[in-house]
Amino acid sequence: MAKNFTQSEVFQSEIDFLNEVRALAEDDDIPAEKVKENYKLLCDKYDRLIGEAKLLTSVSDRLHSKLNEANEKLKKQSDEINKINDDLKVNNQLLQDTIDQLVKAKVGRKASSIVLLIAIILFIISEGWLEPMVESQIGNPQIGFLFKLGIAVLLKPIDVLVERYMMRRALKQREKS
C-alpha cells in the first residue's frame, strides 16, 4: 500500500541535507576533505534532482498532450451530440406537424360523417314532417324547396362547429396522454 505524504514530507530529506550543507559552509574550521565529500554528495543529489525533474517534465508533457487530445475528442463528441440533438428537434417537429395534420384529417373525416348524418336526419324531418305540415297549412309547394335550401346553407356552419368541437376534444385527449 502506498504511503501518503504531505507536501512538506515529500522533500524533507533534501531540505535536511541542504540545511546541513549550509551549516557546514558557515563553518570556517571544516577540513577540506569534508568539504570535498559534501560537495561530491551535493553534486550527486543535484544530478539525481535534474534526472527527476526531466522525468517529471516528460511525464507532465505526455499527460498534458493526452489531456489536450481527450479535450479535443470530447469537444468533437459534444459537437456531434449537439448536431444530433438539433436534427432530432427538427425531426420531432416534423413528426409533430404530421401527427397534427393526421389528427386534423381524422377529425375532419369524422366531422363530415356526422354532418352527413345530421343532413340526412334534417332532410328526413323536412320531407316527412315539416314540408307536408307547412304545405297543408300554407298550400305552397315552394316552401319545401326553401326548407331544403336552408338545410344546404346550414351544412357548412354545422360542419365547422362539429369539426372545432372534435378538434378541441382531440387536443384535450392528447394533452392528457
Buried b (16+ CB within 10 A) or exposed e, 37-66: ebeeeeeeeeeeeeeeeeeeeeeeeeeeee
Task: Give the start-to-end residue ranges of the domains of the chain.
Answer: 11-176
Are 158 and 115 contacting, i.e. CB atoms less than 8 angstroms apart? yes
Per-residue pLDDT of the chain (177 residues; tens, 9 = 90+): 455 656 557 678 778 888 888 887 787 788 888 888 888 888 888 888 888 889 999 999 999 999 999 999 999 999 999 999 999 999 999 999 998 899 889 888 888 888 888 888 888 887 778 777 777 777 777 777 777 788 888 888 988 898 899 888 888 888 887
Q: What's the predicted TM-score (pTM) here?
A: 0.51
- Residue 3 confidence (pLDDT): 57
pLDDT of residue 82: 97
pLDDT of 67 reads 96
